Structure 1
């Protein structure tokens, strides 16, 4: 992708006032930086929960959050309808933890009761018996062409995948969805339990989102420092 890219990639950080508990806003910074290194302009919108979702966004990012903000975010996004419309027209959606859960048909509320989600992913989430806290490593689905992923999970969710969705990765260590797999994706909609932030620790995953957004290949960049940091983290976890 050359520097004469016709228009900026519009990155929408969804509801930072509700879904930004674990520093997942760092995902926006990584996308901006990795796009800039390739001469691809970006425009980032920090979308508060009292604002309308811009359906012309190219990449939508959702982060983690506590039970009540997660429920409120799901209610407002369902009522707004803009994120669903954007995804249906082909926008990229990347969601983490609470954001991942609310993309599904339902998730567990404050007392474990089912709360309606957005239905963008064919998944259903509920509460497990034990909380998953710690490092997670996974082997990514081969068709995504992304190296082994690494992150930090902190959740009590169990996520069941339906017929119209595929797991993002097979768990090497950690809990993930609770079934031996981590995350899920369908088309250009992808969710994960990984914090870290996820795209900071997994630049290959960030580049996947950028490829989806531009609709084709992107230039390689020097990832030597990121590679060293990834190897250090993986070695610390796996030995």
Structure 2
């Protein structure tokens, strides 16, 4: 195939917590398998290309979220990419921005409406290690996930999923989408969109999730990706899961 195009959406406003690293992980894991890969940085005010192979959004503060939502809604490019089934990974504030609405600056703000979720506030801000087991989303984009998911949570948002969205995982440690619902779900999956509150970056800490997105972007089964022997990644993963 031609060069894999990885869209990094609004890193200037949704780049507070190092989530830009997810695009770097995708690029490196593609290159290590012999695929050409390039990161396309899309800044505030830039049009969002509709035909990139995969898109990544990160976290940010209230003002950044509002700016991001306004840009995404006005531009419309990410909506077209989602409608075409392009894989999209959204982290923390990215999850909130892609939802129906979210709370920021003490008011409810209209989101992109790409995820059936509404975000209010937790009783207490969560900061700490977060782990989950993949939710059995039969037939969905994450159906191939079998390994525990791990990341670092730092959020005050309480996201409630509607019927069109499914959770990414079921929390085994930490606080996920909400501190009121049982069982406690983490993240959201809808169509080709995967959202999570896990920083880390999440793809550095969860290589299976990285390869799932990569395989989707390359239009091939994950089982056909060449295995990578990366002891340092395995060590990091073991350390984080033991925490």
Aligned partner of 2:216 in structure 1 is 212
Mapped to 1, the partners of 2:42 and 2:146 lie a distance apart of 29
Mapped to 1, the partners of 2:165 and 2:103 lie a distance apart of 20
Aligned partner of 1:3 in structure 2 is none
Aligned partner of 1:126 in structure 2 is 120
Q: Which moved more, 1:66-75 or 1:136-145?
A: 136-145
Aligned counterpart in structure 1 of residue 110 of structure 2, from 99, 116, 122: 116
Change (3 A) 1:190 1:68: same
Aligned partner of 1:233 in structure 2 is 240
Is the Cα contact below 8 Å between 2:47 and 2:77 reproduced in 1?
Answer: yes
Shift of 1:229: 1.4
Mapped to 1, the partners of 2:108 and 2:89 lie a distance apart of 22
Mapped to 1, the partners of 2:241 and 2:38 lie a distance apart of 33
Is the Cα contact below 8 Å between 2:26 and 2:214 reproduced in 1?
Answer: yes
TM-score, reference length from structure 1: 0.93
TM-score, reference length from structure 2: 0.92
Instruction: Provide Cα deviations, 1:135-168, integer angstroms capped at 9, x if missing partner.
Output: 0000012423241011111111111111111100
SS at 1:144 equivalent: coil
Aligned pairs (5 A) from 1:25-40: 25-40=20-35
Aligned pairs (5 A) from 1:127-142: 127-142=121-136
User: Are 1:41 and 2:24 matched, yes or no?
Assistant: no
Is the Cα contact below 8 Å between 2:122 and 2:157 reproduced in 1?
Answer: yes
Shift of 1:122: 0.9
Shift of 1:53: 0.4
Mapped to 2, the partners of 1:64 and 1:144 lie a distance apart of 26
Change (3 A) 1:32 1:146: farther
Q: Which runs of 4+ in 1 moved over 4 A?
A: none
Q: CA RMSD in A?
A: 1.1
SS at 1:68 equivalent: helix
Q: Which moved more, 1:226-235 or 1:139-148?
A: 139-148
Is the Cα contact below 8 Å between 1:107 and 1:116 reproduced in 2?
Answer: yes
Aligned counterpart in structure 1 of residue 203 of structure 2, from 195, 199, 202: 199
Is the Cα contact below 8 Å between 1:36 and 1:42 reproduced in 2?
Answer: yes
Gaps of 5+ in 1: 1-5
Shift of 1:225: 2.5
The count of residues paired between Structure 1 and Structure 2 equals 230
Aligned partner of 2:88 in structure 1 is 93
Is the Cα contact below 8 Å between 1:146 and 1:205 reproduced in 2?
Answer: no
Mapped to 2, the partners of 1:86 and 1:229 lie a distance apart of 33
Is the Cα contact below 8 Å between 2:145 and 2:209 reproduced in 1?
Answer: no
Q: Which moved more, 1:61-70 or 1:124-133?
A: 124-133
